[in-house]
Amino acid sequence: MHIVYAGADWQKYWLNSLKSDKTIGLVPTMGALHEGHLDLVRKAKSETDIVVVSIFVNPTQFNNQEDYDNYPTTINEDLDKLRKENVDFVFLPKTETIYPEKPELSINFGELETVLEGAYRPGHFNGVGIVVSKLFNIIKPNQAFFGQKDLQQTAIIKRLVNDLSINIKLEIVPTRREVDGLAMSSRNVRLNLEERNQALILFNSLTKAKKELLEGMPWFEVQNQIKRDFEEMPLARLEYFELIHPERFATYKDFDASQKSSICVAAYLGKIRLIDNLPIIP
């Protein structure tokens, strides 16, 4: 496994892959790797010739400085996991490598920035768009792999690729969950035992809501019941629980079984913010 720290170091490897007609798969991460990340790696290895995993905690996508400062860093453990998966390259840049100067560019993703994560984390998707664009330009992959857990982020990246005619195939890999259903997240390691136990309300609320919708309960009743469930959890604070179109992210007021739909949830467990989603009608 090769570790590269700058775009110039990667350039010679990219040229060799070009000459040998080998495809490149990119798995962008912020480190603190878990099985969900490794699912992306395995998918990339099954579909491309050369797999590059980037590890970079991107400061421009954090609208909360404390969250950025406390984001878990486990680089030695991450590299060990990637070696065991026989990853070809790890791109491990420093902040000044990615941002030699503060970016002046701003990317507006339209209505995707006005709902859910866009509404609650202003500037977040601008930061995501800029860093993903940089990674695409540096690594020049044929395919890039992202997790379904960050559903709205995948919609943002799809729009970036489509609107800018970037010649990259995107692969969205299903969410990997713990045995009890909690979506795997790098932030889970920051939960104490009681917070971890109460965090199950995210997945439980999604599965409960899906069941009740499919049984005919009106959406407003389902949503109100879930809000009451969260109020009974002393460490949990619900931020949103919405029924949406999984591509346009328009929010629905009523459930229609003939339309694509997913439910998205965000909540705090203590100081730790978690998100999750579940398809209702794929």
Binding-site annotation: residue ranges = 30-37, 61, 147-150, 153, 184-187
Query: Angle 264-269-272 (CA atoms, 0-180°, nearest 5)?
Result: 90
Among residues 2, 37, 124, 245, which one is catalytic? 37
- For the chain, the three-class secondary structure string (H helix, E strand, C coil) is CEEECCHHHHHHHHHHHHHCCCCEEEEEECCCCCHHHHHHHHHHHHHCCEEEEEECCCHHHCCCHHHHHCCCCCHHHHHHHHHHCCCCEEECCCHHHHCCCCCCCCCCCHHHHCCCHHHHCCCHHHHHHHHHHHHHHHHCCCEEEEECCCHHHHHHHHHHHHHCCCCCEEEEECCCECCCCCECCHHHHHCCHHHHHHCHHHHHHHHHHHHHHHCCCCHHHHHHHHHHHHHCCCCEEEEEEEEECCCCCCECCCCCCCCCEEEEEEEEECCEEEEEEEEEEC
Annotated catalytic, 2?
no
**Binding positions for ATP:** 30-37, 147-150, 184-187
- Single-letter amino acid code for the residue at 182: L
Q: How many CB atoms lie within 10 A of CB 66?
A: 9
**Binding positions for (R)-pantoate:** 61, 153
Catalytic residue ranges: 37
